[in-house]
Amino acid sequence: MSTPELPVRPPGLPASNPTQVVAQQGYTATFYPGFVRTLSVTPAGSEPVVLYDQSGSFVLPVGALEPYTSSVVEFAGGPQQRRLVLRVDDPRREVAAIAVYLKPPGWRDNPPAEPPDPPVPAGAGEEVLLIRDTPFLCPPIC
């Protein structure tokens, strides 16, 4: 019985940069593109702002068969001048997507009796940050 061949990247193809910075409509995000396939924010009462939608494959470093298991996503800006950092450790690669429901403006002065359970009802005033995992990787998709 033969051993299956492991995927390899083409010779001379450099590894992708492990840090991506994107900005759209006053929002900025910094992240590891080996973890993120799409990243968007939906402002209250508006259409989603797509900050990142992967085009092409993320090229892994020489000898790597999978992306890093830890990732940091920094998110900032928008009308509320948000600033947050998410740290994700997914050693078994079980995360498909992460949705972060951000508090509405003025929440410190007028906190709700109980925060709503996700999904947050329309018109609740929150912004929603959505990170989808499972990017295209090279190898095998080069």
Residue type, 83: R
What is the pLDDT, as a whole number, of residue 101? 84
Question: Bigger pLDDT: 46 or 110?
Answer: 46
What is the pLDDT, as a whole number, of residue 15? 93
pTM of the full structure: 0.83
- Look at 14-18, 119-123, 126-130 and tell me which has the smallest mean pLDDT: 119-123
Average pLDDT, the chain: 87
Percent of the chain scoring above 70 in pLDDT: 84
Closest listed residue to residue 41, CA positions, set 118, 102, 92: 102
Q: List strand residue ranges (DSSP E) for 32-116, in order.
A: 38-42, 49-53, 58-59, 70-77, 82-89, 97-101
Question: Bigger pLDDT: 110 or 40?
Answer: 40
* Backbone angle region of 28, left / alpha / beta, with phi > 0 → left and psi within -120 to 50 → alpha: beta
What is the pLDDT, as a whole number, of residue 116? 60
